[in-house]
Structure 1
Amino acid sequence: MKLYENVVIGNFLYTLGFSIGSKSQGNQTLSVVNLLQQTPEDKRLADALLQFQGTVKLIEFKNRAGSLKKEKDKHARLVKILTNNAEFTHVSREIHWYIETNPYKKKCVNKIVPYLDAFDEVASVHTLESMVDEISNEAFLEHPKVSLDECQAYLKLIASHQGGKKSGSSETTGGLLVALNGTEVTYLQYTDILDLRLTAKQFSEKVKTQEQSLMKLYQEQEKKHELERTIERPGLSR
């Protein structure tokens, strides 16, 4: 039996969304869920980057039956990075996680530990269920355990040292910010997934600005089309 990583990721994110939705109690919830697998950020960061009001999580998903050589090389680079930047070790252990699946015939055993412990002989800190529950609880913290500024600095630090982009490339990977407000869902795109400074007020202002820009564009297009129709049918304009 082979349990592909994307199957685990899909179900994990689905369950996390359900858990957060059930705990939101109809209040507005801002979420950023970036599935980075097979994007330029996969090699620099991990498979998934999650951001909520009260927490940030960077998660790598692996199947124990697959080849782990590239991941072990990536892990070794991270250890080296943090050896020279020890002040970020506590940030790493809080937000950067490794989820390894090891499927058997009747059940799926998982190793879920901070990424720094990924290849050490240590016991799993979580099950998939408890990991989802912890993240959904932390999502609503008014004061995150690790500040967004520290999280952003950590992500930029490891992204700049892990490679994965062509030399001199200015390409950035964009993302979507999702706002849940009762039964209403609103999306807002942004240009760089490493930007973690968006607040609810900024989000509302950006949505309003985006809606106004779209409305203005629509009105200009309608005026243009009306003018074109008038030119094509000059007899009707008299």
Structure 2
Amino acid sequence: MKLYENVVIGNFLYGLGFAVRSCLGDSPGIPTMVNLLQQSPADTSLADVLLTFPGIVRLIEFKMETSKKGIKKEEERVQRLFKALENEGNPSLIEVSRKVHWYVEVGIGAEKEVVISRVASYLDAFLEDSGLAPKALEDLIKLTAQEAVEDTSDERDCARDYLQFVRKALKGKNAIGGGGLVLIMDNDGGVNFVRIQSLTDLNLSLSSFQQRALQRDLTPSYGF
């Protein structure tokens, strides 16, 4: 039976939640932001998954080993991005890219288990001998969880600049955009959702977000 990419991504995110909780031990939870961008407008210019933790940001593109056409298209995107970064003349952006932006190629092993054929920084994904450990999906989950809990370098500001650059470099001819929902849970277990109209709103402070939301509410709507 065929293994679909969205199934792999879903299980990666599900497992990552448990792994982060396990790495925290008795420590309190950490603020975590998970954006599943696959098949959204932002997927075409960013990647399948955007993860934000207190200290790290990870932008991950998943590809199935059997998707030869998809892999070829991704290789062309890597070349476009690398050329754009070189033309920018900002070596620090390339350094940030190799920390933040990742490529994961997934396949089925001899024992029919889900394995990682290749995991590498996005810019180096199609270079010879670019594959790095881990080799199994559960190893990637464990590694990502450990980095999320232990790394306090706070690369978010640099990552924000890089993500904006990637969107401009890879967006193509069509404008992109995408909103979402923020899940809020209170101390009593009550669950509420707050709608955001753009992923860029996630970079705002609470006061700035409230001010922008108020301005939008006061703006006349001419939709049907």
Category of TM-score, reference length = shorter chain: 0.7 to 0.9
Question: Superposed, which structure 2 residues align to 1:11-22 within 5 Å?
Answer: 11-22=11-22
Query: Quick check: 1:90 aligned with 2:90?
Result: no
Q: Secondary structure at the match of 1:159?
A: helix
Query: Quick check: 1:118 aligned with 2:125?
Result: yes
Structure 2 match to 1:109: 115
The structural deviation recorded for 1:174 is 1.7
Query: Structure 1, residues 124-147: CA drift from partner, whole Å, max 9, x if none?
Result: 23232232223222323573352x
Give me the whole-angstrom Cα distance separating, in 2, the residues matched to 1:23 and 1:181: 23
Give me the whole-angstrom Cα distance separating, in 2, the residues matched to 1:183 and 1:133: 30
Quick check: 63-72 or 90-99, which moved more? 63-72
Give me the whole-angstrom Cα distance separating, in 1, the residues matched to 2:150 and 2:200: 21
> What TM-score, normalized by structure 2, do the two folds share?
0.77
Structure 2 match to 1:72: 75
> What TM-score, normalized by structure 1, do the two folds share?
0.72
Bigger radius of gyration among the two: 1
Aligned residue pair count: 201
Question: Quick one: higher RCO (CA 8 Å, sep 6+), 1 or 2?
Answer: 1
The structural deviation recorded for 1:75 is 1.0
Q: Secondary structure at the match of 2:32?
A: strand
Q: Secondary structure at the match of 1:29?
A: coil
Contact 2:56 2:151 in 1 (8 A): no
Alpha-carbon distance change, 12 to 181 in structure 1, aligned in 2, over 3 angstroms: farther
- Computed over aligned residues only, the root mean square deviation of the Cα atoms, in angstroms, reads 2.8
Percent of matched pairs sharing the same residue: 38
Query: Structure 1, residues 102-154: CA drift from partner, whole Å, max 9, x if none?
Result: 213413331111111211222323232232223222323573352x1111100
Structure 1 match to 2:219: none
Structure 1 match to 2:220: none
Alpha-carbon distance change, 129 to 186 in structure 1, aligned in 2, over 3 angstroms: farther
Unaligned 5+ segments in structure 2 are 214-224
The structural deviation recorded for 1:180 is 6.3
Query: Quick check: 1:81 aligned with 2:84?
Result: yes
Quick check: 115-124 or 39-48, which moved more? 115-124
After TM superposition, where is structure 1 displaced by more than 6 Å over at least 4 residues in a row? 180-183
Query: Quick check: 1:172 aligned with 2:177?
Result: yes
Q: Secondary structure at the match of 2:7?
A: helix
Give me the whole-angstrom Cα distance separating, in 1, the residues matched to 2:65 and 2:46: 20
Q: Secondary structure at the match of 2:203?
A: coil
Quick check: 100-109 or 151-160, which moved more? 100-109
Quick check: 38-47 or 18-27, which moved more? 18-27
Alpha-carbon distance change, 179 to 72 in structure 1, aligned in 2, over 3 angstroms: same
Alpha-carbon distance change, 119 to 181 in structure 1, aligned in 2, over 3 angstroms: farther
Structure 1 match to 2:221: none
Unaligned 5+ segments in structure 1 are 211-238
The one-letter amino acid of 1:197's match is N
